[in-house]
Amino acid sequence: MRFNRRLGAAWCGAVVIALAGTLASATPAAEAAPSPIPRALALTTPSAKAKAKTYAAPSALKAKASAAGAGTIALTWSFRGSGLRYRVQYSTSKKMTKARTLVVPGPSAAVSGLKQRTTYYFRVRVLGVGGAAASAYSKVVSGRTATPADPGARPLQVASFNVRNATLDSGTRSWANRRTAVAGQIKAKGIDVVGLQEAEYTRISVDGTTVHQYEDLLGLLGGSYRITSGLSTAEGCGVATESDDSLCSGTTAAAPGYSAGIRIIYNSDTVTLVKRGSVRLTDDIAPRYAVWAIFTQVSTGRSFFFINAHLEDKYKDDPGLVYYALRKTQADQVLATIAANNPGLPVVLTGDMNSHKWRDPANAPYDSYRAAGLVDPLGNTYKSRTAVKPTTEVRIHTEFNSWNNFAAKPDDEGWINGINVDYIMVSRSVTTLEYETVVDIDPVTGRFVGTVPSDHNMLRASILVPRS
């Protein structure tokens, strides 16, 4: 079911890339600028039946020194349509002599590997199927590389992912069919910390073994990936069930092992777990939780507060705005949890909030988080069709909605920001280098490639944790 932006009808599940890859260049590999952050994609052979389409040249091209490094320039320009790719051309000459190029999947780019304290010139054009030019070049603009204000910061990859409860589907949508695709996306994007929704405590049978869904995912990730809470062997919950009146059931005040599918998984090689906790939110029928953790980034020694939640999903037959009010109450409880447990560290908030910019009378959780000082890097404000004061330097496929309902094609409305019920929000002090709606799509057909991992698309952000 598509989102109805007027009525706010977005069904988000029973109880809730990857085109950004190795930098691709139209010039020989030797000329491709090395990049610390994945952000481009390879060209695809054109379809013989594809119709050529032309676009207006990109406008409003802007270039500025990136926070990512002394040799990086961040570019933004006008959005020209969903699923398009763009060719960026850059040179130290205003006449674009000896220019280099790269191809990116959205109306922004970070050009890395540049000389420090040097002025570069840039222009960009839309590409059609197979990489053929589909517009004229934009006007040429200049930007000068500079040392970042915080040169000691290092990119941290965070994500929000509703992985869909394993007990809800069968056939091609079954967990057995999707599980490796879910784990594959997390690993392929090098995620350091991911907030999961619907990664259930419910036991399922996988390859003849009975395990919890989140436990199976953790096993697939392997290596240095760990979970903050709920792991049966760590919590002593191996023989408990959701209906047990025990610490694992969520029916007691402690309840460390059960959090209604709300989990935090992290890479112990890149972040160190300092402290963790959870809180049960006010709910209707199904239990709702927020889980939190304090981590220290290994590469910088900087700490941050990470919290993940899954809010009430009911929206139909709500004339008294009961569920609207409940989501606001839950969002306020998330904020209260931050206030009670955060010792003043920068915050990363993830989750499926089951509310979006076309919900009436407002997007209550979003408004609460913003009022508390958290930032939406996309600038995906209420009923907006353009980005309103975005803070992310680079965006990848953000035009696609965060909920996909297992459709063959990722859903979009033709705007620069999709209709999202899933969020990554951060403190004002956090710099967002990239924000991505992770969709692996064929640029010719616009369809998902391979197995669709979940009925939600993973959201990923590359951020810089500030000194605190």
User: pLDDT band at 258, cuts 50/70/90?
Assistant: low
Q: Which residue has the higher pLDDT, 281 or 254?
A: 281
Q: What is the CATH number of domain 33-144?
A: 2.60.40.10
Q: Where in the chain is the domain with CATH 2.60.40.10?
A: 33-144
* Angstrom distance (rounded) from CA 97 to CA 82: 31
Torsion from C-alpha of 437, 439, 442, 446, nearest 10 degrees = -70
For 341-379, what is each residue's pLDDT tens digit?
Answer: 999 999 999 999 999 999 999 999 999 999 999 999 999
pLDDT band per the 50, 70, 90 thresholds, residue 238: very low
pLDDT at position 49 over 60: no
Instruction: Give the number of other Cβ atoms within 10 Å of residue 319's Cβ.
Output: 5
The residue type found at 238 is G
Domain with CATH 3.60.10.10 in the chain: 155-464
Other Cβ atoms closer than 10 A to 160? 28
pLDDT at 229: 73
For residue 394, the surrounding DSSP H or E stretch is: strand 394-396
Q: Cβ neighbours of residue 66 under 8 Å, at least 6 residues apart?
A: 72, 73, 74, 110, 112, 148, 393, 433
| In the chain, % of residues over pLDDT 90 | 72
Q: Rounded to two decimals, what is the model's pTM?
A: 0.86
Answer with the residue of higher pLDDT: 270 or 7. Answer: 270
Class for the domain spanning 155-464: alpha beta
Token pair, residue 269, equals 């090689």
What confidence tens digit (pLDDT) does each residue in 114-167 have? 999 999 999 999 999 888 999 999 999 999 999 999 999 999 999 999 999 998
pLDDT for res 428: 98
Proportion of the chain above pLDDT 70, given as a percent: 83
Residues 371, 21 contacting (CB under 8 angstroms): no
Per-residue model confidence as pLDDT tens digits over 54-79: 999 999 999 999 999 999 999 999 99
pLDDT above 80 for 41: no
pLDDT digit string, tens, across residues 159-208: 999 999 998 999 999 999 999 999 999 999 999 999 999 998 777 888 88
Helix spans in 115-206 (H)? 175-188
Single-letter amino acid code for the residue at 75: L
Report the amino acid identity of residue 438. V
Pick from 335, 275, 336, 262: nearest CA to 303: 275
Residue type, 359: R
**What are the strands, taking DSSP E only, across 198-270?**
203-206, 209-212, 225-227, 263-267
Q: Please write the tens of the pLDDT for every residue from 297-353.
A: 999 999 999 999 999 999 878 888 999 999 999 999 999 999 999 999 999 999 999
